[in-house]
A and B are shown apart, each in its own frame.
Chain A
Amino acid sequence: MAFLTIEQAINQALYEEMQRDPRVMMMGEGVAKSRAWLLREFGATRVRNTPLAEAVVAGTAVGAAASGLRPVIDLLFAPFLTYAMDALVNSAGKLRYLSGGQHEFPLVTLCMTGSGWCVGAQHNHNLEAMFVHAPGLKVVMPSTPADFKGLLKSAVRDNNPVLFFTDLALLFEQGEVPESADHLVPLGLADLRREGEDVTLVSYGKTVRVCLEAAEQLSECGISAEVIDLRSLKPLDEATVLKSVRKTGRLVIVHEASGLCGMAAELAALAASKAFDALRAPVVRLTGPDAPAASSWVLEQAAVPNAGDVVSSVETLLANRSQSAS
């Protein structure tokens, strides 16, 4: 095991995959600067700075992926993906299907987002659910260094387009990471981060930590919370979530992205349609507001669900239960 930051874990994954497979290459505004050692190791043919032109960078990656390369593109901040959306959504996501299976797109798109840097809504926009909604794209948003490494490696090896989101507040968090070049975390598998009996907390990205903190606080007042880190948003690990909901009967979903048509809505629908009989309380969604992110520190932080919010919603859920039972 090595002790790495998330940034180092990402870099290690890229290095190992480029080492393993000469078809893997990187493109993006400044990648040859921000990942200079990849340039030194693998050369300017495989590590390319691009002009500021997200639409054609993504389009080039899609074309290259269909033609035998395995591109990883770094589009910096998630909101810049909107310039790249045509290539990603309409081409990468649809042309395998529309061609009757003629094409494949082994392509990874990296980007960052999330609150914490006071940069405002044109940099801080958790728009991952937009891509979950678009058919044909896989979406990943891990929370630990080991998962960043293992999932990025799996994403590079996947034959389909993967959107890989990094919450920038996590970049410098540290954790143990397996050193093996074969450390893979499969796409579509959630991680049970804490076992519990009374309530299931489901999250991804930086709010996983919020849920773990909340679970710790809840345990002090005798409430046992189970915490699930989704890691992959699509494919979604329905089985892990449903199993937990069947056990606890209560579901709280927490994410920084806004609620409307978001992952929490999807999970609530999942519980309602496939574990209705097991639910002992209404499903709770704790999400960012349906509003652009402000820059000002105070407003930015007010928009992020925190451990206190999780604790009080769980307490409310359980209080209602004991009232109705008495």
Chain B
Amino acid sequence: MNSLIGHPRLRGLDTMMLIRAYEERLAILQQQGAPGTCTSVGQEACAVGVIGALESRDRIITNHRSAAHLIARGAEPPRLMAEVLGRVDGYCGGRSGTLHISASELGVVLTSTIVGAGLSLAPGVALAQIMGQGEKGGIVAVFFGDGAACEGILHESLNLARQWELPILFVCENNQWQAYVHRLETMADESIFNWARGHGLEAERVDGNDADAVGEVARQTVAAIRADGRPRFLELLTYRQRGHFEPDDQAYVDKAELNRWLNHDPIALMRDRLMAEGHLDASTLASLESEVGERIDAADAFAQASAWPDPKQLLDFVYA
């Protein structure tokens, strides 16, 4: 990490910049034929805000759009990039590719690309925590999209979590899109957090592009879950800036809507605010940017140099 980072919010900005640079580099590799990814560009503040409020004893469940969550939790871009390229040095030895990257060493478990799968798995992870497995007092943060909220499993999961008093933080990143369908085409309700209230959970909705706001509400909510062990729900309003799966020309996206959100970019917002408050100046910013660039160059070089898996290992981890 850059030695100029003194302020925790500056660290958050730096992490968001790293996530952005990582995904933008992948987009370039993808134009040259690397496997596609679902990027979290535009949603970095959700990851940084929520994960910044968690502790190492907590567990995180992510999904197909995982890069921001993983990097915010400390995943190393070289190993992430190697995984996306299907190489041996990736977090899953190339077996996952981009869509199901778990990193148990970081507490990021059970990543599934089946939309809604995380919602079905979170209660079990939380149950193990309250039944004495793992470090005492941990909670589970499960990230899912507005599309996943349409799967029936959401309601099963909320009801069970409430009834069994499972310490789960449900984090719905409402990025307005469900692959190529706008969410207003699939849900009559303006908001998702009300569904959770209907199941008896405390639920809030905040601007998911404002890392300060997300961080604030996440800290309060996590503290409340730790205090009484009950699940809670956050809906983070955000926007998927680059489309569903790279490369995506977004021909189907309303340009006015996209532009409104591009003008409310989480990184620009945080950068300008920190500058206005005197926590960041132009030369520090330039130094952060160049260090991020160097880290991504190194990740790229590492991933490309990493070996392909040996076909002889095809049946590793097959037990029956």
Contacts and interface: CB of A to CB of B under 8 A. Distances in A.
A and B held together in a complex: yes
Interface of A: 29-30, 33-34, 49-56, 79-80, 82-83, 117-120, 122-123, 289-291, 294-299, 302-303
Contact of B151 (A52, A119, A302): A52
B151 A298 contact: no
B186 A50 contact: yes
Nearest to A119: B99
A296 B150 contact: no
A237 to B, nearest CB: 32
A49 B95 contact: no
Contact of A298 (B35, B116, B311): B311
Contact of A122 (B112, B147, B185): B112
Nearest to A122: B113
Interface stretch (B131-139, B173-181, B212-220, B276-284): B173-181
A145 B88 CA distance: 38
B178 A83 contact: no
A117 B87 CA distance: 15
B86 A52 contact: no
Given A29-B179, A30-B179, A295 B311 contact: no
Given A34-B180, A122-B99, A296-B97, 12 more contacts: A29-B179, A49-B185, A49-B186, A50-B186, A52-B147, A52-B179, A82-B114, A117-B35, A119-B99, A294-B314, A295-B94, A298-B94
B318 A298 contact: no
B100 interface: yes
A307 B252 CA distance: 41
B50 interface: no
Contacts of A80: 114-115
B314 A299 contact: yes
B315 A297 contact: no
Given A294-B309, A296-B86, A299-B309, A52 B150 contact: yes
Nearest to B148: A52
Contacts of A54: 151
Given A33-B181, A118-B86, A298 B150 contact: no
B86 A297 contact: yes
B95 A294 contact: yes
- Most chain B CB within a 10 A radius of its CB, from A51, A55, A122: A51
A45 B187 CA distance: 17
Nearest to A300: B86
8 contacts: A51-B150, A52-B147, A52-B151, A53-B150, A295-B95, A296-B94, A297-B308, A298-B94
Interface in B275-320: 308-309, 311, 313-315, 318
A122 B92 CA distance: 15
- Most chain B CB within a 10 A radius of its CB, from A34, A122, A303: A122
Given A118-B35, A294-B314, A52 B309 contact: no
- Most chain B CB within a 10 A radius of its CB, from A82, A83, A119, A295: A295
B152 interface: yes
A183 to B, nearest CB: 30
A52 B95 contact: no
B241 interface: no
Contacts of B314: 289, 291, 294, 299, 302-303
A83 to B, nearest CB: 7
A187 B252 CA distance: 37
B96 interface: yes
Interface string B180-193: 11000111000000
A299 B95 contact: yes
A30 B114 contact: no
Contact of B96 (A55, A120, A289, A303): A120
A298 B86 contact: yes
Given A33-B180, A33-B181, A119-B97, A295 B86 contact: yes
Contacts of A290: 318
A117 to B, nearest CB: 8
